Structure 1
Amino acid sequence: MKKRLISLGLLVVMVLTMVTTLSGCGESVTKRADTQDTWSSVKKRGYVVVGLDDSFVPMGFREKSGKLVGYDIDLARAVFKLYGIKISFQTIDWSMNATELRNGTIDLIWNGYTKNPQREKVVAFSDTYLKNQQVLVSLKKNHINSFNDMTGKTLGAQSGSSGYESLENNPKLLKDKIANKTAVQYDTFNNAFLDLNAGRIQGLLIDSVYASYYIKHETNSSDYQETPGAFETEDFAVGMRKGDKTMRRKINAGLKELKANGTLAKINHKWFGNQKVEN
């Protein structure tokens, strides 16, 4: 009996040691993400790892062939081409983007990523390169012409998206009106549109850049309507670790150069045509 008690005591000590060690590792990773400047190592290896949701049209998505294309894909490549650095794009769980960044799995979040005070607590941002807003997409046959028309109806939103954060942070604008005061959350907007078309949700809170592009390329595009609300305009920017101060300077300088030499305007036209966008 005494031996069993001693063994049990040793087991408890081992478990506590493991918990303490893991906690220390977590703190170490966080500290490194906040202090380490990785530009020299990125430059040395010759490529930077960009995390994205590869279903977010037109910012970054896969064509039927599997090829990765999009506004942010072109812009990221153009910026790092200035420095002779290639890009490795890595698909991630979008709701875990900041965790992947700080753990070192990726170096940047570059995929229609909205800059806001909550995210700025853990992520450093580049200068804004594109303006965006949240809109309510619905089927015209449902006659939803304002946020008030969503009263008692079911709303969809993407998990971890800026739209979902806006919904939660400004409940009086829309959340308090919808069924159960809770939005149905989706991993991707594609799945959300499937439910919208099937009538399982009556509205979808979504980025205007995505909505416009998606609807434009649907065969039944005239069936949809976009309704703007009172949510604030959003700033798309590149997310990076707080320690990557050189990376931030390089990206900002690159964005300015692309705007000055006309490359940014060409990328705008390629993905948005004559639609007016604000950089």
Structure 2
Amino acid sequence: MKKLKKVMTIVLSIAFTTVLLAGCGSSSNSQSGQDSQNTLEKVKKAGVLKVGLEDSFPPMEFRDNQNALKGFDIDMANAIAKKMGVKAQFVGTEFNGIVLALKSGKFDVIISGMSITDDRKKQIDFSEPYVQNYQIIVTKTGNTSIKGSKDLDGKKVGVGLGTTSEEVVKKFKNIKEVKKYDKTTEELQDLLIGRLDAVVVDEPVGKYYISKSDKKDQYTVLNERLSKEPMGIGFKKGDKELEAEVQKAFNELKKDGTMSKISTKWFGEDIYK
């Protein structure tokens, strides 16, 4: 009898603990969902939409000689925030850790020229695409040994750390060395001084930087496009109310011609025609 009582006591203890843990887990999940649902309310109450970005990605976002933050994404984020009745506040973050920073609540959205990929969609949600992006190859003018991706074998190639450029070059198995950079400007500079044979970069970023460089004649952009990558605004998983509000604001800006003006300003053409 004593043995039976002891067994029953153990069984009841285990059952109680299981229920307690399940309750805690349910509470935690419920709280997480509640936090996501309340993000829009918090933004409206504070009057601020916190935007995460990496500020060396021209023409999407970058700092000018006076350290002022400029770019396509900056103008778009400010216009979206205005439509929502709030102000945009920009939070600089290294791109390699930007998804984790969003998930931890450092800011409300990511607007940083981010390509929508299957891997990223497992971690965060995205708006509809707002820019169609491609990966391109840039070489130093006069380098006739690289005419396309097939010529990257045995070469040293620069990419942005944590970017889709880094993922794209993985399919080229015979590259001699892949060097990863925090800033696009650094990899393009290394290309000119001979530390790299080529750079793989987002098309709007590479072309804009080169067009503004006083050494633009020293860069050659190859015609080949390595991948097609739509860019989107990133949200925490389940943050559907904020996502819907931001998407609505963007759609209105596209309809009233604001996005066309921003596009022409930064890309030299209206990509929304």
Give TM-score scaled by structure 2 length: 0.85
Instruction: Give SS of 1:111's match.
Output: coil
Aligned-partner residue type, residue 145 of structure 1: K
Pairing 1:104-119 to 2, within 5 Å after superposition:
104-119=105-120
Q: Is the 8 A contact 2:259 2:272 kept in 1?
A: no
Q: Is the 8 A contact 1:29 1:102 kept in 2?
A: no
**181, 195, 211: which is aligned to 1:216?**
211
- Using the aligned pairs only, state the percent identity: 31
Residues of 2 paired with 1:30 and 1:161: CA distance?
33
Pairing 1:43-122 to 2, within 5 Å after superposition:
43-122=44-123
1:277 aligned onto 2:267: no
Residues of 1 paired with 2:162 and 2:112: CA distance?
13
Relative to 1, partners in 2 of residues 1:121 and 1:115: Cα closer, same or farther, differing over 3 Å?
A: same
1:30-86 CA-partner distances (Å, limit 9, x unpaired): 982796221101110110111111111010111110110100000011111011111
Q: CA deviation at 1:87?
A: 1.1
Q: Which residue of structure 2 aligns with residue 192 of structure 1?
A: 187
1:187-219 CA-partner distances (Å, limit 9, x unpaired): 111111121111001100100000110111112
1:223-265 CA-partner distances (Å, limit 9, x unpaired): 2111244533111100010121011111111111111101010
Q: CA deviation at 1:29?
A: 9.3
Relative to 1, partners in 2 of residues 1:162 and 1:31: Cα closer, same or farther, differing over 3 Å?
A: farther
Q: CA deviation at 1:278?
A: 5.6
1:125 aligned onto 2:121: no
Q: Which residue of structure 2 aligns with residue 159 of structure 1?
A: 161
Q: Which residue of structure 2 aligns with residue 150 of structure 1?
A: 152
Q: Which residue of structure 2 aligns with residue 16 of structure 1?
A: none
Instruction: Give SS of 2:237's match.
Output: coil
Unpaired segments of 5 or more residues in structure 1?
1-23
Residues of 2 paired with 1:192 and 1:203: CA distance?
9
Give TM-score scaled by structure 1 length: 0.83
**177, 193, 200: which is aligned to 1:205?**
200
Q: CA deviation at 1:154?
A: 0.2
Residues of 2 paired with 1:34 and 1:177: CA distance?
49
Instruction: Give SS of 1:113's match.
Output: coil
Larger Rg: 2
Instruction: Give SS of 2:199's match.
Output: strand
Residues of 2 paired with 1:192 and 1:252: CA distance?
34
Number of aligned positions between the proteins: 246
Q: CA deviation at 1:277?
A: 3.3
Q: Is the 8 A contact 2:192 2:218 kept in 1?
A: no
Aligned-partner residue type, residue 177 of structure 1: N
Q: Which residue of structure 2 aligns with residue 266 of structure 1?
A: 261
Q: Which residue of structure 1 aligns with residue 32 of structure 2?
A: 32
Relative to 1, partners in 2 of residues 1:224 and 1:30: Cα closer, same or farther, differing over 3 Å?
A: farther
Q: Which residue of structure 2 aligns with residue 176 of structure 1?
A: 173
